[in-house]
Amino acid sequence: MNNENFDKPKLSWGYYLGSNSFDYNFDYKSDLYDVQTEKNTGFNVGLIGNFRISDFFDLRFEPGLVMSNRNLIYNPLGFGMTEFQPNLHVREVKSTYIYFPLLLKVSALRFNNFKPYLLGGISTALNLSSKQDNVNDNSLGEFRTKKNVLFYEIGFGIDLYLEWFKFSPSIRGVFAISDELVADDDPNSPWTGNIDFMKTSGIMINFTFQ
């Protein structure tokens, strides 16, 4: 067995690299035209602080940087038009989150150099690309989102005990709890007027080194 006593210390540290694919989910005020989300692959990087509670439970703090890019595509019929015009009917939404998740890790028994686990918890994030305080809205081409977002997340992974370190690939679902939309000044705006609630959902794949 490699690193037989690796999990014995109360505190341990590491870092992670990974990717994400984020979507937006919408609740609408009335049943008109849905907003479609074109997803792109984003990037995650961060640090890990692990507090060992017992052989099967760990508390983890994983502050990091999460970057994503999404395009919102609107139906031109919602604008009283029939022809699609990218400058009107597409809005690019860039998100750069300073990310603070607090997670509970529940592990199975170690078998040789493998140990599967589940993860779950809550996180908060500061979106540096939100444009929440921008006075310009969609009438001037700016789609605004809120700075502060709350998430819950759940996932699974496996610890691989190598000769010199522990490598842990994981996959998790991330789901926003709070509304992220900053509505346009015009309550009848074709971009935001029919949106009641907008929140992120997505998948993160991380590769952890400890």
Whether 64 contacts 44, CB under 8 Å:
yes
CATH number for the domain spanning 107: value is: 2.40.160.20
The pLDDT, as a whole number, for residue 59 is 97
- Concatenate the DSSP letters of all residues of 130-199 into one string: --TT-S--GGGT---B-SEEEEEEEEEEEEEE-SSSEEEEEEEEEEE-S--B---SSTT-TTTTTEEEEE
CA distance 84 to 77: 9
Domain membership flag for residue 205: yes
Domain membership flag for residue 5: no
If one counts the domains in the chain, the total is 1
Q: Which amino acid is at 93?
A: V
Domain membership flag for residue 63: yes
The pLDDT, as a whole number, for residue 183 is 92
Degrees, nearest 5: CA angle 122-125-127:
155
The pLDDT, as a whole number, for residue 7 is 86
Domain membership flag for residue 3: no
Domain membership flag for residue 100: yes
CA distance 141 to 146: 17
Domain membership flag for residue 1: no
The pLDDT, as a whole number, for residue 4 is 83
Domain membership flag for residue 4: no
**Per-residue model confidence as pLDDT tens for the chain (210 residues):** 888 888 889 999 999 999 999 999 999 998 888 999 999 999 999 999 999 999 899 999 999 999 999 999 999 988 888 888 888 899 999 999 999 999 999 999 989 999 999 999 999 999 999 989 888 889 888 899 999 999 999 999 999 999 889 999 999 999 999 999 999 999 999 999 999 999 999 999 999 999
Considering the entire predicted model, what is its pTM?
Answer: 0.87
The pLDDT, as a whole number, for residue 50 is 95
**What range defines the domain where residue 198 resides?**
11-209
